[in-house]
């Protein structure tokens, strides 16, 4: 009895991280979050797992869980806690990983995340606080909002014609094969609260025993947004929430499941490099890199019509540069239609670490049609390069503070018997002009991005023709 009055060791004694009063939580009176925190902290203490536990806090009122829990803490983007938990658990299988989420976080923006984590049967524990609204942002409708319930975004009450029906997460996830244990409980009277306590412990024990995915949904009051007193709010859970979301065990394979062996899932960097044919450190930059400033950390935007092999050209450059030891990124952007629509990709080829794959100020633009040249030439950094296909673009570039290289790529490709290899003619012209990669580096990479092996010799020819065009005109 006395033990219940002692603050769990899994809580900080003083909440130093919190602004203002440091010995109370930020939760409103009557909120379920605080009670659930207590039940989790006590379970961690009793199981002796505090030091190896990591709590992923969501976006929502419990975003500040790290103020209180004296554990490993990570903050995930809205709805992404199950994905973050998956990553952590896989590299630290000995740890106990808890994904703590609200209903907006788990069932709305993160709906697919939880579905996939449950379906993979990740060995994690999920505590899902269902208070039927978005608490932190002031009470908007959540997927779990009841029919007729008034929220700030459903001022006349949730209407199934407009907003659909409340989503029952436990019932939904219980249809999947992988989850081991799924139960819905409620923070109302002492009897129900002791069921929450039991469920919390069972879900954690399953993870400790390596049994697999467990989720406990906790129906919980939000007096502030429901505009009720704490007592009225608890009663509202009893009278309304439980009717829509019946309590009980929806799946329990705990006694039938054999513990899975917890295996660390990490690849060694060297092993990965070998698999991807990336040279080891000492072999870096095997190619003759032009040290001109504009080509050192190259940011490319490659654009044209869908069907011209724009994305493949960018992918090929990134692959060849990666094999030559550069840091690279490739970010495709698709138009609404694949063939005939517009396509562009962003490619970084850099000796330094790449902060973002997005290229907003390119040092090189490759334009394979007029709309692309018109759209992107203004973005090029002064002193950068515009490479364009003069067979399809008869207009002259307007910039006079950049280098311009025109090449009749489509014409050259036609002469080789296949219009579709114009992209590789451009590749040849690009490497000959910038020297960022040598011919052999690109040829070595061809099998990685040209899937039809019989087309490799023709692509090689196109690269050579593109190189020759540039070298003979310089
Ligand atoms: C990507 C993104 N979208 C929206 C928000 C705004 N936002 C913050 S909390 C929240 C709702 C959280 O509600 P819920 O998951 O039900 O948790 P509760 O606050 O009720 O505990 C939203 C939409 C955000 N922070 N990030
Ligand atoms: S707004 Fe609602 S969910 Fe958020 S702390 Fe207050 S009562 Fe709890």
Per residue in 352-376, pLDDT tens?
889 899 999 999 999 999 999 999 9
| 214 and 299 housed in the same domain | no
Centre of ligand 1 to C-alpha 223, Å, is 17
> Residue 264 domain-assigned?
no
| 228 and 342 housed in the same domain | no
| 248 and 362 housed in the same domain | no
Centre of ligand 1 to C-alpha 466, Å, is 53
Mean pLDDT calculated for residue range 171-183? 98
Domain-ending residue, one of 227, 252, 277: 252
Q: How confident is the model at residue 221 (pLDDT cuts 50, 70, 90)?
A: very high
Quote the distance between the C-alpha of residue 32 and its chain's center: 29
> Residue 198 domain-assigned?
yes
Q: How far apart are CA 303 and CA 373, in angstroms?
A: 8
**Relative to the alpha carbon of 104, which ligand is closest?**
1
pLDDT of residue 346: 97
**What length does the chain have?**
474
C-alpha separations of 370 from 180, 238, 268, 303, 401 in Å: 57, 65, 45, 10, 20
> What are the phi and psi torsion angles at 294 (to 5°)?
-65, -15
Residue to substitute in 129, 222, 233, 234 for testing ligand 2 pocket (most ligand atoms within 8 angstroms of CB) = 222
Quote the distance between the C-alpha of residue 91 and its chain's center: 17
Percent of the chain with pLDDT over 70: 93
- Ligand 2 lined by 26 (C-beta under 6 Å): no
DSSP string covering 339-389: SSSEEEEEEEEESSPPS-S--SS-SEEEESSHHHHHHHGGGSPTT-EEEEE
> Residue 9 domain-assigned?
yes
HSE value, Cβ hemisphere, 13 Å, CA-based, for 463: 22
Burial of 56 (0-12, 13-18, 19+ CB in 10 A): buried
Domain-ending residue, one of 205, 225, 252: 252
Higher per-residue confidence, 296 vs 426 = 426
| 172 and 309 housed in the same domain | no
Task: Assign 29 to helix, strand or coil.
Answer: coil
| 19 and 61 housed in the same domain | yes
- Ligand 2 lined by 27 (C-beta under 6 Å): yes
Mean pLDDT calculated for residue range 26-49? 97
| 374 and 417 housed in the same domain | yes
Quote the distance between the C-alpha of residue 242 and its chain's center: 34
Centre of ligand 2 to C-alpha 79, Å, is 18
Closest CA to ligand 1's atom 6 = 137
Whether pLDDT at 258 is above 70: yes
Arithmetic mean of pLDDT over the chain: 92
Q: Which CATH number does the domain housing residue 211 bear?
A: 3.40.50.970
| 357 and 243 housed in the same domain | no
Tell which atom from ligand 2 comes closest to the C-alpha of 223: 7
**Relative to the alpha carbon of 142, which ligand is closest?**
1
| 242 and 356 housed in the same domain | no
Q: Which CATH number does the domain housing residue 431 bear?
A: 3.40.920.10
- Ligand 2 lined by 330 (C-beta under 6 Å): no
Q: What is the CA radius of gyration of the chain?
A: 29
pLDDT of residue 338: 46
Tell which atom from ligand 1 comes closest to the C-alpha of 108: 15
> Residue 262 domain-assigned?
no
pLDDT of residue 288: 47
21-35, 148-162, 198-212, 333-347: least confident range: 333-347
| 226 and 111 housed in the same domain | yes
- Ligand 2 lined by 178 (C-beta under 6 Å): no
117-126, 143-152, 266-275, 352-361: least confident range: 266-275
Mean pLDDT calculated for residue range 297-308? 92
Percent of the chain with pLDDT over 90: 82
pLDDT of residue 286: 46
Tens digit of pLDDT for each residue in 399-457? 999 999 999 999 999 999 999 999 999 999 999 999 889 899 999 999 998 989 999 99
Taking phi over 0 as left and psi of -120 to 50 as alpha, with beta for the rest, 189 belongs to beta
| 225 and 292 housed in the same domain | no
> Residue 213 domain-assigned?
yes
Residue span of the structural domain in which 387 resides: 269-473
| 370 and 463 housed in the same domain | yes
Burial of 370 (0-12, 13-18, 19+ CB in 10 A): middle
| Total number of domains in the chain | 2
Single out the residue of 179, 167, 318 nearest to residue 250, CA to CA. Answer: 179
> Residue 257 domain-assigned?
no
Report the b/e string of 100-125 with b at 16+ CB within 10 A: bbbbbbbbbbbbebbbebbebbbbbb
> Residue 260 domain-assigned?
no
| 247 and 275 housed in the same domain | no
pLDDT of residue 3: 56
> Residue 118 domain-assigned?
yes
């Amino acid at each position: 009895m006395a033990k219940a009055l002692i603050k769990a060791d899994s809580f900080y004694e003083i909440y130093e991280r919190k602004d203002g009063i440091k010995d109370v939580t930020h939760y409103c009176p009557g909120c379920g979050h605080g009670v659930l925190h207590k039940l989790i902290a006590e379970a961690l203490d009793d199981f002796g797992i505090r030091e190896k536990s990591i709590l992923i806090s969501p976006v929502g009122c419990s975003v500040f869980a790290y103020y209180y829990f004296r554990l490993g803490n990570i903050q995930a983007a809205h709805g992404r806690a199950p994905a973050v938990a998956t990553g952590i658990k896989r590299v630290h299988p000995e740890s106990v990983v808890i994904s703590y989420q609200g209903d907006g976080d788990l069932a709305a923006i993160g709906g697919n995340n939880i579905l996939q984590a449950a379906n993979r049967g990740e060995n994690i524990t999920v505590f899902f606080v269902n208070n039927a609204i978005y608490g932190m942002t002031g009470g908007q409708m959540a997927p779990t909002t009841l029919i007729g319930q008034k929220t700030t975004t459903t001022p006349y009450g949730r209407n199934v014609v407009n907003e659909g029906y409340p989503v029952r997460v436990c019932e939904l996830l219980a249809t999947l094969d992988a989850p081991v244990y799924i139960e819905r409980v409620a923070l109302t009277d002492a009897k129900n609260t002791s069921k929450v306590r039991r469920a919390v412990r069972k879900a954690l024990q399953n993870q400790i025993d390596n049994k697999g995915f467990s989720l406990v949904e906790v129906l919980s009051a939000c007096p502030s947004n429901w505009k009720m007193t704490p007592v009225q709010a608890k009663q509202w859970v009893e009278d309304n929430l439980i009717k829509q979301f019946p309590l009980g065990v929806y799946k329990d394979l705990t006694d039938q499941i054999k513990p899975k062996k917890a295996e660390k899932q990490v690849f060694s960097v060297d092993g990965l490099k070998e698999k991807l044919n990336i040279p080891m450190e000492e072999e870096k930059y095997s190619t003759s890199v032009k040290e001109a400033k504009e080509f050192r950390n190259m940011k490319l935007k490659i654009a044209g019509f869908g069907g011209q092999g724009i994305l493949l050209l960018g992918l090929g450059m990134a692959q060849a540069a990666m094999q030559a030891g550069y840091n690279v990124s490739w970010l495709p952007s698709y138009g609404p239609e694949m063939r005939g629509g517009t396509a562009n990709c962003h490619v970084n080829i850099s000796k330094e670490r790449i902060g973002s794959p997005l290229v907003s100020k390119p040092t090189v633009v490759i334009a394979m049609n007029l709309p692309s040249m018109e759209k992107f030439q203004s973005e090029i950094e002064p002193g950068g390069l515009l490479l364009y296909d003069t067979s399809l673009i008869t207009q002259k570039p307007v910039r006079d503070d950049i280098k311009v290289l025109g090449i009749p790529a489509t014409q050259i490709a036609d002469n080789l018997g296949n219009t579709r290899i114009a992209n590789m003619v451009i590749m040849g012209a690009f490497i000959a002009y910038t020297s960022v990669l040598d011919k052999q580096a690109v040829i070595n990479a061809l099998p990685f991005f040209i899937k039809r092996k019989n087309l490799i010799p023709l692509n090689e020819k196109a690269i050579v023709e593109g190189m020759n065009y540039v070298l003979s005109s310089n």
